[in-house]
Amino acid sequence: MRELREVFFVDGVRTPFGKAGPKGQFWRTRADDMAVKAVRELLRRNPAIPPERIGDVVLAATAQVGDQGLTLGRDVALLAGIPHTVPGFAVDRMCAGALTAVTAAAGEIALGAADIALAGGVEHMGHHPMGDDVDFNPRFASERLIDESAAVMGRTAENLHDLFPAITRERADAFALTSQQRASAAWANGVMRETVVPLAVFTDDGWKVAERDEFLRADTSLDGLAALKPAFRAGGRVTAGNSAGLTDGATAAFLAAEETVGELGLAPKLRLVGYAYAGVEPHLMGLGPVPATKSVLDQAGISLDDVDLFELNEPFAVQVLTWCDELGISADDPRLNPYGGAIACGHPLAATGVRLIAQLAYGLRERGGRYGLTALCIGMGMGAAILWENVQ
């Protein structure tokens, strides 16, 4: 019987995340070029990995059209100078794009189809707003297969507030403030220097260096958050302040087999312990990480108390608070998003997963601990969770 191989996360990087739209720093930058920059920096930082040894390049995008269409893994690999003998492909699982790229690549390594793989994601939400070029099948509505709100993520967040009235606007705003404060501290303390790749971009004002996330708001206050109007429903609780901003960005990571780590003398950061994807009602998509988290912990035979660090995506504060309440984790637990999250830095859909993993690796090294969890919710009613072991 074939034995599966252990898979390790070697390194991961991301671009700064820019505001989507004409005023954002990446408006005049192609999506695939953002991904190329992340890949090239990953190659530069890991000279012990010969590019020709990469077995596959897996890149995700939610809107697979225009400058992030075609077969991203292959196209970006060629543009980044990786030899033509290295194959590549694209995946889409909306917000879990990069996480799915990682688990798909890990499967290749575990089965021996590749020794090293490159995985990541890109999303240029300025060039490709959510829902553009999408033709929803009319049967979804006519046959009432899903609630109509399932197609608008902000409305699904309001649905969570309805379902869990104990999660108030005030709690959501308080969590958003903490995210901004922690992210600002992380930037000030140099935490992001290890994982964020600056890049030269052309703007209306000429060339500049993009080196910081554009949604950071160090001056955020509870009074300021409370003054914001609901974004998706009159009298609602979801605002621009307690949600992740629409952003552009790219990520890339190296995964390797245990034998290859030893052969090349690599210094991996994390061992992949297990992963799970789960489905929930589409109009309650924010619940997705709850069953996914429970599933991956069951696989590993451990409890939440055994996990030393959580990197949970923050598309909406209510989604994180739902996860906390359902699993019995305090929203101010020091293990949860210690460097802030998407409310502060943004959520460029298919790119986010590798940001979570890279921050988790940094946090486990600096703070200590054995196990870490990366998790997020996924549009149309899904959730993802990956459990990692610290090997630094």
pLDDT digit string (tens) for 210-241? 999 999 999 999 999 999 999 999 999 999 99
Rounded CA-CA distance 240/232 in Å is 10
> What's the Cα-to-Cα distance from 337 to each of 35, 143, 357, rounded to whole Å?
25, 40, 12
Is-catalytic flag, 345?
A: no
- Structure confidence by residue, pLDDT tens digits, 56-114: 999 999 999 999 998 999 999 999 999 999 999 999 999 999 999 999 999 999 999 99
Please identify which of the residues 124, 283, 345, 377 carries the catalytic annotation: 377
Q: Is 63 helix (H, G, I), strand (E, B) or coil?
A: coil
> What's the Cα-to-Cα distance from 141 to each of 149, 159, 225, rounded to whole Å?
10, 18, 35
Measured distance between the N- and C-terminal CA atoms of the chain, rounded to whole angstroms: 31
Going along the chain from its start, the domains and CATH numbers come out as 273-390 (3.40.47.10)
Is-catalytic flag, 95?
A: yes
Asked if 216 and 345 count as a contact pair (C-beta separation under 8 A), the reply is yes
User: DSSP character for 198?
Assistant: -
Could you give the dihedral angle defined by the CA atoms of residues 333, 157, 288 and 9, in that order, rounded to the nearest 10 degrees?
-60
Please identify which of the residues 127, 128, 161, 347 carries the catalytic annotation: 347
54-60/88-91 β-pairing = parallel
Please identify which of the residues 95, 124, 127, 345 carries the catalytic annotation: 95
- Structure confidence by residue, pLDDT tens digits, 330-340: 999 999 999 99
Q: Is the dihedral of CA 236, 159, 92, 108 positive or negative?
A: positive
Asked if 77 and 333 count as a contact pair (C-beta separation under 8 A), the reply is no
Is-catalytic flag, 377?
A: yes
Q: pTM above the 0.95 mark?
A: yes
- Structure confidence by residue, pLDDT tens digits, 260-302: 999 999 999 999 999 999 999 999 999 999 999 999 999 999 9
**Percentage of the chain modeled with pLDDT above 90:** 92
pLDDT of residue 147: 86
